[in-house]
Amino acid sequence: MSDLPRKAVTRTAKLAALPLGFAGRSAWGLGKRLGGYSADLVGHELQQRTAEQLFKVLGELKGGAMKFGQALSVFESALPDELAGPYRATLTRLQEAAPPMPTRTVHAVLEERLGQGWLELFEEFDDKPAAAASVGQVHHAVWHDGREVAVKVQYPGAGEALVTDLAQLGRFARLLGPLIPGMDIKPLITELHNRVTEELDYALEAEAQRAYAAEYTGDEDVLVPGVVHQSDEVLVTEWLEGTPLSAVITDGSEEERNRAGELLSRFLFSGPVRTGLLHADPHPGNFRLVTDGHEAPERWRLGVMDFGTVDRLPAGLPSTIGTVLRMTLDGEAEAAYELLREEGFVRERIELDPDEVRDYLLPIVEPACVEEFTFSREWMRKQAARIADPRSPAHQLGRQLNLPPSYLLIHRVTLSTIGVLCQLGATVRMRDEMETWVPGFAPDEPEEAVGAESREEPDEPAYEETSA
């Protein structure tokens, strides 16, 4: 693996290999079956080969390709069991690792952005990357004042790679359907494309991370590393030690997985209220379970990284979300329908049955109907099948609804978080979290209720950046 492949023709050819490779392996599988091999055996080998190629291409290319792969990884819980195994093992590798950038390239970026004497800023610097993400990789180091830090270095050509990849993936969207059956891939690619600029801007990322770090300082449940230094293409933050959420998903006890699910839900809903921002990249690679020496999971905290993609919500989550969900639970179908129409979820020229709309929404809010709810891959698959099956009434009604642009990212983040909760198999008191943090959801909520203050433009936090 040399430098990040930047030529559009090279990257396009590699991405084109995904659907073409799938078609070729399907033909190979048919030949094997005609030759007398077991359909089950051939099918498993076909899926494994596809999964391995998926990791190799998306991980190698990084950029938009890897970002797309990470976004897909949280939805593996919606796959049927016979498909989930190969994809689960392969896609979750995208959450924690990817082929590294050469050391010479890392040093060149650091010298260009931090100066020729960049190494003097550190007491120690590990050339071997601790993690590799979609637009940059992270190195463990010790800052000149003795603090352990994470040094995030952006890949040269990452911007071009992001734009090129997502444009090509958009063209291949229909052919990529077999990789994740039942999922509409094109809107996901479009939304990722719309966030390209923010993902590359480390100044914006540092600003968002400072806001979160300041708000959650001393918090019992959430830990956000502070920003130590930031320049173009380099971001230095405090080092976060902990157990990767992906490891809790695969090896955690029931108690540990439940605690992880509780913390993840709390972070999702509390963030917009407390900071005016929504962390919009909830794949497991961005979270750690921090024990602080405590063996009991109830004392663990959720460590959060990577604030490159956020939704700016100075008023917190729109109160329409909580109000419509509460009306749905309380059987107020007509009122919920009218509010959805006012907000643009139902277009003016469309007329729908309010009771049918409520029936469509009820299974989605099922986790908030009970005191505690156990998320599972089985439940996720049931929901995915209900909405994806063209023969189902839910699918037909869903096609007539509209998702206003201002809700697109909120929708994706919520679905992604639910996907991770299903991977965890966590039991969560979702209703309590929503009543505490989601404006409009608490029963008989007064006008000046939870989150009311956050619905005003927050003051700029006072920070003093440590300069190099």
Q: What is the DSSP string of 66-134?
A: HHHHHHHHTTGGGS-HHHHHHHHHHHHHTTT--PPPPHHHHHHHHHHHH-TTGGGGEEEE-SS-SEE-S
Residue 136 has what pLDDT?
81
Indicate whether 101 pLDDT > 60.
yes
Question: 170 falls in which pLDDT band (50, 70, 90)?
Answer: low
Question: 377 falls in which pLDDT band (50, 70, 90)?
Answer: confident
Is 204 a member of any domain?
no
Indicate whether 185 pLDDT > 70.
no
126 is catalytic: no
Residue 353 has what pLDDT?
94
Angle between helix 158-171 and helix 185-194 axes, rounded to 10 deg: 160
Mean pLDDT over 205-232 rounds to 97
Is 304 a member of any domain?
yes
Question: Which one has a higher pLDDT value, 460 or 160?
Answer: 160
323-362 residue pLDDT tens: 999 999 999 999 999 999 999 999 888 999 999 999 989 8
Report how far apart, in Å, the C-alpha atoms of 152 and of each of 234, 309, 322 are: 6, 15, 37
Is 154 a member of any domain?
no
Work out the percent of the chain whose per-residue pLDDT is above 90: 45
Indicate whether 275 pLDDT > 70.
yes
CB 176 within 8 A of CB 47: no
Given 281, 292, 330, 355, the catalytic residue: 281
Question: Which one has a higher pLDDT value, 401 or 210?
Answer: 210
Mean pLDDT over 435-450 rounds to 74
The conformational region for residue 24 under phi > 0 = left, psi -120 to 50 = alpha, else beta, is alpha
Q: Whole-model pTM?
A: 0.75
Number of structural domains found in the chain? 1
Mean pLDDT over 236-253 rounds to 95
Residue 358 has what pLDDT?
93
Residue 72 has what pLDDT?
56
Could you tell me the residue range of the domain that residue 407 belongs to?
Answer: 243-458
Residue 79 has what pLDDT?
57
Residue 450 has what pLDDT?
42
What six digits make up the tokens of 278? Answer: 């929504």
Which residues, in sequence order, are CB contacts of 369 under 8 Å at separation 6+?
A: 329, 362, 431
Is 383 a member of any domain?
yes
Flag the least confident range among 39-48, 227-236, 269-278, 301-310: 39-48
Residue 86 has what pLDDT?
54
**Shortest CA distance to 344 belongs to which of 363, 318, 368, 366?**
318
Question: Which one has a higher pLDDT value, 299 or 12?
Answer: 299
Average confidence score pLDDT of the chain: 77
Alpha carbons 364 and 346: distance in angstroms, whole number: 18
Question: 429 falls in which pLDDT band (50, 70, 90)?
Answer: very high
Between the ranges 155-159, 259-263, 382-386, 410-414, where is the mean pLDDT highest?
A: 259-263
Is 440 a member of any domain?
yes
Question: 27 falls in which pLDDT band (50, 70, 90)?
Answer: very low
Question: 405 falls in which pLDDT band (50, 70, 90)?
Answer: confident
Work out the percent of the chain whose per-residue pLDDT is above 70: 65
Question: Which one has a higher pLDDT value, 160 or 76?
Answer: 160
Question: 407 falls in which pLDDT band (50, 70, 90)?
Answer: confident
Flag the least confident range among 144-153, 215-224, 402-411: 402-411
Question: 132 falls in which pLDDT band (50, 70, 90)?
Answer: confident
Is 146 a member of any domain?
no
**Residue 262: which H helix or E strand, with range?**
helix 254-275
Is 270 a member of any domain?
yes
Residue 283 has what pLDDT?
84
Is 132 a member of any domain?
no
Residue 221 has what pLDDT?
97
Question: 459 falls in which pLDDT band (50, 70, 90)?
Answer: very low
Amino acid letter at 393?
P
Residue 460 has what pLDDT?
40
Mean pLDDT over 101-111 rounds to 91
Indicate whether 207 pLDDT > 90.
yes
Residue 166 has what pLDDT?
66
Mean pLDDT over 201-230 rounds to 96
Indicate whether 319 pLDDT > 90.
yes
Mean pLDDT over 296-302 rounds to 93
The owner of tokens 């939304």 is 191
Between the ranges 9-18, 90-99, 290-299, where is the mean pLDDT highest?
A: 290-299
Flag the least confident range among 17-21, 83-87, 233-237, 258-262: 17-21
